[in-house]
Amino acid sequence: MAKFLVKFNEDKCKGCELCASFCPKKIIVMSKTVNAKGYSCASMSNQEECIGCSNCAVMCPDGAISIFKTEEE
C-alpha cells in the first residue's frame, strides 16, 4: 500500500508539466486523455514510489495537486 496518495484536480490542470519536472522520483507523467479545456493532465505512473515530498504540489501554479498521507498496514 502506498504511504502517500497524490490527487490531481483535472479541471484545474493545464498540462504545464512543472510537477513532472520537479518530481525527484520521475513518477508524474502526462495523461493521454484531455480535460474539458483540452489540456493533457498530470497523473502518476507508479503511486507506490511516491515519497510525499510535495514538490509537485508546491510547484503547481494552479493548485491542482493535493497530497495525502495514507494509513500504513
pLDDT for the residue 33: 87
d(CA 29, CA 11): 17
d(CA 2, CA 7): 13
Q: What confidence category does residue 1 fall into, taking pLDDT thresholds of 50, 70 and 90?
A: low
Residue 3 has pLDDT above 80, yes or no: yes
pLDDT in tens, 9-65: 999 999 999 999 999 999 999 999 899 999 999 999 999 999 999 999 999 999 999
